[in-house]
Amino acid sequence: MSSDPLIIFTPSGKRGRFPAGTPVLTAARQLGVDLDSVCGGRGICSKCQITPGYGEFSKHGVTVHDDALSEWNAVEQRYDDKRGLKPGRRLGCQATIQRDVVIDVPAESQVHKQVVRKRVEARDILVNPTIRLYYVEVEEPDMHEPSGDLERLCAALHEQWEVENAQADLHLLQTMQPILRKGDWKVTCAVDHGRDGDAPRIMHLWPGLYEDTIYGLAIDLGSTTIAAHLCDMRSGEVIASSGVMNPQIRFGEDLMSRVSYSMMNKGGSDEMTAAVREGMNTLFDVVAAEAGIDKGLIMDAVFVCNPVMHHLFLGVDPFELGQAPFALAASRALHLRARELDLKLHPSARVYLLPCIAGHVGADAAAVALSEAPDKSEDLVLVVDVGTNAEIMLGNKERVLACSSPTGPAFEGAQISAGQRAAPGAIERVEIDPVTKEPRFRVIGSDLWSDDPGFAEATAATGITGICGSGIIEAIAEMRLAGVLDASGLIGSAEQTGTDRCILDGRTNSYLLYDASAKGGPRITVTNPDIRAIQMAKAALYSGARLLMDKFGVDKVDRVVLAGAFGAHISPKHAMVLGMIPDAPLEKVTSAGNAAGTGARIALLNREARGEIEATVHRIHKVETAVEPRFQEHFVNASAIPNAVEPFPILNTVVDLPQVSFNTGGGDEASGGGRRRRRRG
């Protein structure tokens, strides 16, 4: 045995001795080396390409001679003539081991490809989907040993791929017979492996060797927008992404107004279900057209969404989610068929919905947990998915807590006097000079600051139209840093602040950010009600996080991850000045981008990840903010900017917060007090 040739695979480093004449693919399989093959070693799929290395490998202690592998054979020659093999490549199923050899498995020959995520702290995604392709050669029917075509197909899957006890979807039965004959009893099967313990199910057949790929969709079903990422299920790459507005918006802008719509209108829930499914189908058409693929090749789809969207999508009336105790119909992950949900994809396409964590913390939060993996973090991480509702998780590998907090739409530019959605022309960055109190800003669509030369020309096309969510946060934080806004949220008067930018606006003051009214353009101010709206939103966010810190028994977190599209544009410093998030080193506040969408993509591409997040969700402890007395207390404290009681020591090493107070009345809080006085009078 020890005189058998040694084979060493790179990059895995796996090694073993095999009798001379063993195909490289066979050795790879026996050693558990990740070397692809769709045809099962028949020399036709070319997925098992390998690169032998020759010469001295002192690291491995072997010398590889020119005759280490069998000679180039006719199958390889035919493949090379037809398709072309890269120089130095061999087919792993054809080349046999003759002497000691070092074999490199190139990335494209690995079954479980890695999809590299750009962020440093994010793990790469291992491509290992639930639906796999197998090439099989099926026995022809024999009337003396009668058996169904399906039975012989399943026998082939068992014998040639160890896929046991395969079942078939009805659609397969209906289409199978001509395909088997067209392929002369050689076919490629798409098999859904489902959950552990489920019988594998054959979903589709192609005659002969199917050399193309199949597709899957990762869908982030939001209250406002539906975003779909179309993935190549072999490479794992996103090949097209698109989004549409959620057509349910016509029934209500926010979730609770949709819940009310269903309560007030008979059949309202069904109407909203039909609308969102129709919207999905439109989106699928768009994304398939963009990628130039046949929608019928989309065989799997993973959905993440908040609980109300989850129920409305499934056709479950969200009534119970509108009132305590916020009971979900089901919190588990759901395995369905696209057809059951009226989705027009492959006729047997699968649908997977991630589990929900609680009545307010949905599958979208589970997807964020899958992407950001707080349950695997060594240090204590706060993960915040900022949207109309903020989903907040705090934890480390010991335990994870989660809650949701009703931030409202202010962070998205709604309820803000000059607010608008993030689109060209919207102010997204703001700086205010602490001495002159003069602002400068940037708008979406240009990299120039407003005091840079050429700014007017650069923004002439879009104009300067309003302030988006990240812009209002920077504006308010900068106002606080420049001393034109006090901790209670009052804007000082021109006299108090020494700048004409502060102007009387009714009974309170506003800060003038941009004025083009002389030229018939807009006049963009930050008003006291704007401040109030952001105070409410950020207090909700902070007090949710703080409540989890209480429950965890900590006063600080090691790092903060901001998820969601909005989170990607927030400046950590400004968020912290505002007191949106707990005090932490600024470099420890990072953005995860659309973590929910990424989580959906992980669950789409990796079968094990589904079981993993289902188990994780069970371990996440949910905290219901609505009934926690401390939440109210934290909320009141967090209304101050940054906070009435929390010290923010790390922030204070970075910025100086002016100790100003513009409250001149008898009330403890200007505008509120003013309104109260008027009502009494």
Give dist(CA 601, CA 33) in Å, integer.
Answer: 25
Which stretch in 66-74, 328-336, 556-564, 656-664 sits in contact with its own copies by CB under 8 A? 328-336
Which stretch in 124-132, 426-434, 531-539, 619-627 sits in contact with its own copies by CB under 8 A? 619-627
Q: Interaction with its own copies in 184-213: which residues (CB under 8 A)?
A: 197, 199
The DSSP letter of residue 336 is E
Options 622, 638, 651, 662; binder of its own copies; rule CB under 8 A: 622
Decide if residue 389 touches its own copies (CB under 8 A).
no
Decide if residue 316 touches its own copies (CB under 8 A).
yes
What's the token pair of residue 286?
């768009």
Residue type, 381: V
DSSP secondary structure string, 213-236?
--EEEEEEE-SSEEEEEEEETTT-
Give dist(CA 585, CA 278) in Å, integer.
Answer: 45
Distance of CA 515 to CAs 464, 467, 524, Å? 10, 13, 6
Question: Between residues 94 and 273, which has the closer beta carbon with respect to its own copies?
Answer: 273
CB of 347 to its own copies, least distance (A): 11
Options 30, 77, 114, 174; binder of its own copies; rule CB under 8 A: 174
Contacts with its own copies by CB under 8 A: the residue count is: 49
Give dist(CA 592, CA 119) in Å, integer.
Answer: 8
Decide if residue 406 touches its own copies (CB under 8 A).
no
Give dist(CA 381, CA 374) in Å, integer.
Answer: 6
Options 512, 626, 650, 660; binder of its own copies; rule CB under 8 A: 626
Sheet holding 466-467, edge to edge: 439-443, 426-432, 466-467
What's the token pair of residue 344?
């027009």
Decide if residue 15 touches its own copies (CB under 8 A).
no
Which stretch in 44-52, 574-582, 622-630, 634-642 sits in contact with its own copies by CB under 8 A? 622-630
Q: Please state, as a whole number, how many other Cβ atoms lie within 10 Å of the Cβ of residue 212.
A: 13
Which stretch in 276-284, 317-325, 528-536, 583-591 sits in contact with its own copies by CB under 8 A? 317-325
DSSP secondary structure string, 256-297?
HHHHHHHHHSTTHHHHHHHHHHHHHHHHHHHHHHHHT--GGG
Question: Between residues 74 and 143, which has the closer beta carbon with respect to its own copies?
Answer: 143
Report residue 217: phi and psi, to 5°.
-120, 135
Which stretch in 52-60, 171-179, 287-295, 608-616 sits in contact with its own copies by CB under 8 A? 171-179
Give dist(CA 601, CA 115) in Å, integer.
Answer: 11
Classify 323 in phi/psi space as left (phi over 0), alpha (psi -120 to 50) or beta. beta
Options 78, 319, 456, 523; binder of its own copies; rule CB under 8 A: 319
Which stretch in 90-98, 166-174, 538-546, 550-558 sits in contact with its own copies by CB under 8 A? 166-174
CB of 40 to its own copies, least distance (A): 23
Decide if residue 40 touches its own copies (CB under 8 A).
no
Half-sphere exposure of 551 (CA within 13 A, CB side): 24
Decide if residue 629 touches its own copies (CB under 8 A).
no
Per-residue x/- mask for its own copies, residues 575 to 614, rule CB under 8 A? ----------------------------------------
Question: Between residues 146 and 649, which has the closer beta carbon with respect to its own copies?
Answer: 146
The SS3 of residue 344 is coil
Decide if residue 562 touches its own copies (CB under 8 A).
no
Half-sphere exposure of 172 (CA within 13 A, CB side): 24
Which stretch in 104-112, 332-340, 572-580, 630-638 sits in contact with its own copies by CB under 8 A? 332-340
Residues 6+ apart with CB under 8 A from 418: 466, 467, 513, 522, 524, 525, 526, 530
Decide if residue 170 touches its own copies (CB under 8 A).
yes
Cβ contact 109:92 at 8 Å:
yes
Decide if residue 146 touches its own copies (CB under 8 A).
yes
Half-sphere exposure of 627 (CA within 13 A, CB side): 8
CB of 307 to its own copies, least distance (A): 10
CB of 594 to its own copies, least distance (A): 25
Q: Please state, as a whole number, how many other Cβ atoms lie within 10 Å of the Cβ of residue 135.
A: 26
In degrees, to the nearest 5, what angle opens at C-alpha 312 toward C-alphas 309 and 313? 80
Question: Between residues 230 and 356, which has the closer beta carbon with respect to its own copies?
Answer: 356
Decide if residue 379 touches its own copies (CB under 8 A).
no
Decide if residue 458 touches its own copies (CB under 8 A).
no
CB of 566 to its own copies, least distance (A): 26
Chain centre distance of CA 218: 8
Give dist(CA 279, CA 290) in Å, integer.
Answer: 16
The DSSP letter of residue 85 is P
Decide if residue 91 touches its own copies (CB under 8 A).
no
Decide if residue 138 touches its own copies (CB under 8 A).
no
CB of 272 to its own copies, least distance (A): 13
Question: Between residues 142 and 447, which has the closer beta carbon with respect to its own copies?
Answer: 142
Decide if residue 80 touches its own copies (CB under 8 A).
no
CB of 152 to its own copies, least distance (A): 9
Give dist(CA 365, CA 207) in Å, integer.
Answer: 42
Residues contributing to the site for its own copies (CB under 8 A)? 140-151, 168, 170, 173-174, 176-178, 197, 199, 314-317, 319-320, 324-332, 334, 336, 340-341, 356-359, 361, 622, 624, 626-627
